Chain A
Amino acid sequence: MRNLLLPTLPLLALAAASPLAAQDVVPPAEAAVEGAAGARYEPADDLERSLWFQMEEAERSLKTSQQVIRDPELNAYLRDVLCRTVGPECAGIRLYVVRSPYFNATMAPNGAMTVWTGLLLRAQSEAQLAAVLGHEFAHFKRRHSVQLFREAKSKSNAAAFLSFTGVGLLLSIGLMESIFSFSREMEQEADLDGLKLLSAAGYDPAQVPLIWEQLLDERDATLVARGRDKDKRKARAGLGDTHPPSQARVDYLRAAIGGLEPAGPILGEDRYREKMAAWWPQFLDDQLKLNDDGGSLFLIESIAKANGWTPWIAYARAEFHRRRAAPGDVEAAIGHYSEAIARGGDLPELWRGRGFALRKAGRTEEARADFVEYLGRVPDAPDRAMVSTLAGVN
């Protein structure tokens, strides 16, 4: 587990979060949740100080991380959504977009928040993104990390204490239950706070449980494709539970939504889609390289459902089948590449991919024509030498 978390520290590349973004924000009339985000927390004793030092040290070394996406527009958008959701207190948060295909976001007690690209791929509306950002912010505001640390210390809970060395101070939404199984109450607290923030900001709170339901469904798809049993959807978390999204979470969120004042039901789907359009193909490509057939296909289907048909979704489908290479996949891949091309797709990799699929199907002449087309469209392709040989145009 540790190695999953490590990446999250690198977050800190004090990215491009534009300070201007916060100025557009209309703060909620009153703070929607409890806590004290204003003052910076000062470690109380030597042990805490040493942990803080480790964290900041880790952050420093990660400021130059190659995993952090520094694109100013993407960062400004995420910061904008964060500030819309939590109000002016967003100024205390440093937000980093980490290129990792898994669903996750983390919050460190010093205000460093990470959002992983796998989350951006899975969220289907701005409201869903806002839900996660609000949840993480609630951890920060309630100083959950510090509380957890104190609790672990006071109970002399060796296992819990160990989890705090270095990266343990991060609260991670994707891995929460596996690392801090003793902290489910805080997790629920953050979920409910997040819901209030979301609702106060005018977003549709009904979007929140949808994220978790979709994660449960994706998890099932992954397991089924690997020939394993689906996870049991228990309403109560057990001691040995390793996977975060639980049915319990969906249940209490639904119950809490029922008690909220009806608020402006902003989904922000169009805006979200527009901002993510340039990124999804790359994020999906990272997913396709994970050897997770069930999860990948599930995601492609749900993105297709939310977005309608687009050439890059057709391309992703085609690539999925070509890579999986199960019986019938070559033909399916050729079909999807061809459909994308016929309907105006102009991504050069469409011809490259179809060329490889045709070649595999023994349709060498057609494959060659596609390779020639690909080379014509990308004269400096990294695989030019290989493809030229296959095209017979050495």
Chain B
Amino acid sequence: MKRLPVLALAAALVALPAAPVLAGWKLVEEDKPVAVAKSAMRVTPSENWNRWTARPVKQGETWTRDGVNLNELYIVAGLPAGMTLYKDVQKKERPLPKLSAKLDLTEIPEFYESSTRLVLNTSVFQMTAVEPAKMGGQDAVKFAFEYSVEGSPLKRRGMGLGTMVKGQLYLIAFAAPATHFFDRDKAEVEAIMASVTF
């Protein structure tokens, strides 16, 4: 079964992420605003990150500091209606949900959860908090979750910030092992979330 790197999260998981030949990592320098997936959405990290040159979806970028197993930031800038959050690699047997233009921002956590459960092939996934927030001045939803994947005793934690603008999804989601890594990078990720401009 061919797996693309896209399963950004899946890389952390069980399976064997076969990166395409040309995919690599590029430095995202600290303290410099950077456009996400060539969109108008910009973020400013305060640490150095690495960006995967292969995009999971056209509007999405995967960043990490120490490898996606240990910290993975998935940023989606303007996912249009009808598209899936991750690359729909198993679309015949396990299609991912498609974004609806009518999606309410309160439904973003459900959309994220359903997509992520399918990509990770896990049912051990739980939302632990959902609260209102701001993203680049827009009303947004912030959420926190826990999950683990098959074959691993590791508990992982994550958080996300998302909004809908003109029927398109903007989302930043972070996931890391609950042990050490999540807490270590939480403040940095929150700073990135707070740095969003459109």
Residues of A near B148 (CB, < 8 A) are 65-67
Residues of B near A9 (CB, < 8 A) are 151
- Residues B100-159 near A (CB distance < 8 A): 100, 102, 104, 106-107, 110, 113-114, 117-118, 121-124, 127-132, 141, 148, 150-153, 155
Q: Are A65 and B150 in contact (CB under 8 A)?
A: yes
**B14 located at the interface, meaning its Cβ lies under 8 Å from any Cβ of chain A in the complex:** yes
Residues of A near B94 (CB, < 8 A) are 290-291
How distant is the Cα of A59 from the Cα of B193 in the complex, in angstroms? 40
Q: Are B124 and A67 in contact (CB under 8 A)?
A: yes
Known: A99-B124, A390-B106. A66 touches B132 (CB 8 A): no
- Determine which of B1, B107, B141, B150 lies in contact with A7 in the assembled complex, contact meaning CB atoms within 8 Å: B150
Residues of A near B102 (CB, < 8 A) are 325
How distant is the Cα of A359 from the Cα of B94 in the complex, in angstroms? 30
- Determine which of A6, A66, A100 lies in contact with B14 in the assembled complex, contact meaning CB atoms within 8 Å: A6
What residue of chain A has the Cβ atom nearest to residue B107's Cβ? Answer: A356
- Determine which of A65, A290, A323, A390 lies in contact with B152 in the assembled complex, contact meaning CB atoms within 8 Å: A65
What 8 pairs across the A-B complex have the smallest Cβ distances? Answer: A385-B131, A7-B150, A64-B153, A383-B130, A66-B148, A286-B123, A386-B130, A291-B97
Q: Are A289 and B114 in contact (CB under 8 A)?
A: yes
Residues of B near A10 (CB, < 8 A) are 150-151
Closest approach, in angstroms, between the C-beta of B102 and any C-beta of chain A?
A: 7
Q: Identify the A interface with B (CB < 8 A).
A: 1-4, 6-7, 9-10, 58, 61-62, 64-67, 99-101, 117, 226, 286, 289-291, 323, 325, 356, 359-360, 382-383, 385-387, 389-390
Residues of B near A390 (CB, < 8 A) are 106
Q: Are A67 and B122 in contact (CB under 8 A)?
A: yes
Q: Are A6 and B150 in contact (CB under 8 A)?
A: yes
Q: Are B129 and A383 in contact (CB under 8 A)?
A: yes
Q: Are A66 and B15 in contact (CB under 8 A)?
A: no
A-B contacts counted at CB < 8 A amount to 94
Residues of B near A291 (CB, < 8 A) are 94-97, 114, 118
Chain B facing A: main interface SS: loop
Known: A10-B151, A66-B153, A325-B100. A3 touches B121 (CB 8 A): yes
- Determine which of B104, B123, B132 lies in contact with A389 in the assembled complex, contact meaning CB atoms within 8 Å: B132
Q: Identify the B interface with A (CB < 8 A).
A: 1, 3, 14-15, 94-97, 100, 102, 104, 106-107, 110, 113-114, 117-118, 121-124, 127-132, 141, 148, 150-153, 155
Closest approach, in angstroms, between the C-beta of B44 and any C-beta of chain A?
A: 26
How distant is the Cα of A1 from the Cα of B16 in the complex, in angstroms? 12
**Could you list 9 A-B pairs, sorted by A, with CB under 8 Å?**
A2-B1, A6-B150, A6-B151, A62-B151, A64-B153, A66-B124, A383-B130, A385-B132, A387-B130
Residues of A near B118 (CB, < 8 A) are 290-291
Residues of A near B123 (CB, < 8 A) are 67, 99-101, 117, 286, 289
Residues of A near B117 (CB, < 8 A) are 289-290
Known: A289-B117, A323-B110. A386 touches B141 (CB 8 A): yes
How distant is the Cα of A289 from the Cα of B116 in the complex, in angstroms? 10
Q: Are B121 and A382 in contact (CB under 8 A)?
A: no
What residue of chain B has the Cβ atom nearest to residue A63's Cβ? Answer: B153
What residue of chain B has the Cβ atom nearest to residue A242's Cβ? Answer: B93
If A291-B94, A291-B118 are given as contacts, then 16 extra A-B residue pairs at C-beta distance below 8 Å, sorted by A number, are A3-B121, A62-B153, A64-B153, A66-B148, A67-B150, A99-B123, A100-B121, A226-B95, A286-B123, A291-B96, A325-B100, A359-B106, A382-B128, A386-B130, A386-B131, A389-B132
How distant is the Cα of A325 from the Cα of B118 in the complex, in angstroms? 19
Q: Which of A3, A6, A62, A359 has the most CB of B within 10 A?
A: A3
How distant is the Cα of A290 from the Cα of B119 in the complex, in angstroms? 10
What residue of chain A has the Cβ atom nearest to residue B124's Cβ? Answer: A66
How distant is the Cα of A387 from the Cα of B143 in the complex, in angstroms? 13
Residues of B near A387 (CB, < 8 A) are 130
- Determine which of A6, A67, A99, A290 lies in contact with B15 in the assembled complex, contact meaning CB atoms within 8 Å: A6
Q: Are A7 and B127 in contact (CB under 8 A)?
A: no
How distant is the Cα of A3 from the Cα of B122 in the complex, in angstroms? 11
Closest approach, in angstroms, between the C-beta of A290 and any C-beta of chain B?
A: 7
What residue of chain B has the Cβ atom nearest to residue A291's Cβ? Answer: B97
